Amino acid sequence: MIDPSQPENPNSRCGFVAIVGRPNVGKSTLLNHILGQKLSITSRKPQTTRHQVLGIQTRGDVQAIYVDTPGMHEEEPRALNRYMNRAASSALKDVDVVVFVVDQTHWTTADDMVLRKLENVKAPIILAVNKVDKVENRDSLLPHLAELAKKYDFAEIIPLSALRGQNLAPLEEAVDRLLPVSIHFYPDDQLTDRSQRFLASEIVREKITRQLGAELPYSVAVEIEEFKQEGMVLHIAALILVEREGQKKIIIGDKGERIRRIGQEARIDMEKLFDSKIMLRLWVKVKKGWADSDRALKSLGMDDF
């Protein structure tokens, strides 16, 4: 029996790294830039991420398994919000390193709430201060970092810009140092634990979120009903679920113009990700109350936690 703590290569390191924080601080953008490939969906709308997504980065002897989590909510009025909080909290169990992402000089009560959840975590916590490229008064940054250092005994405090890929190397190097000696858990060329069907559904949801912004609430889900390779073409059929008839009309748009644009943009990303020509079909269905129903969430595969 292999003992992962005693690898043949004494320099081999591997472990799980949870990326946590309140909604819309750039967790998914950070993961995508670390991996050098788009894996987690992003938008300017908070709470875009709903699921835990593993992103596997292998660099030489070190394999860091990043867990991108939904933003933690201060309130849990809906079943969907409760699910996302459970997904985020469960990522903290048995991880080796935590990367706590905050937004430049904006510390909020939601950040306090996340920090309280981290107090019982045994793993070292790196504070990643994101979006520092947007700080207008650079002289205010150092005093702010000093104040953050008083809030918790962080292993490191690293200012960076996930969107611009600035100062990510110190973060990755800090993670590498903190990971335990271990064999690698995944093949060195594997990028994620998620299926291609899951990634396809997330791409469609991202395009909906980006196109509609404030026009549509969070009550949109995507189910992949067909995922089949035929020769050089990958055929994908996706069902978009909304809660009300009015939301269906918004997604379809005037004479179907909007849903066509959603499909076009999703297809471009899918062809890059799956390295195949894509035939994508989309349609919209009303499923009332799914975001408030634990049973409906379970039927959509959101019952991991």
Rounded distance between C-alpha atoms, residue 83 and residue 77, angstroms = 11
Residues that constitute the known binding site: 21-28, 68-72, 130-133
Residues that constitute the known binding site for GTP: 21-28, 68-72, 130-133
Q: Which of 139, 129, 180, 161 is nearest to 14 (CA)?
A: 180
The DSSP annotation for 214-250 comes to GGS-S-EEEEEEEEEEETTEEEEEEEEEESSHHHHHH
| Close Cβ partners of 258 (under 8 Å, ≥ 6 residues apart) | 211, 212, 250, 251, 252
The answer to whether the beta carbons of residues 217 and 296 sit under 8 Å apart is no
Distance set, CA 104 to CA 144, 154, 289 (Å) = 9, 17, 36
Rounded distance between C-alpha atoms, residue 261 and residue 264, angstroms = 5
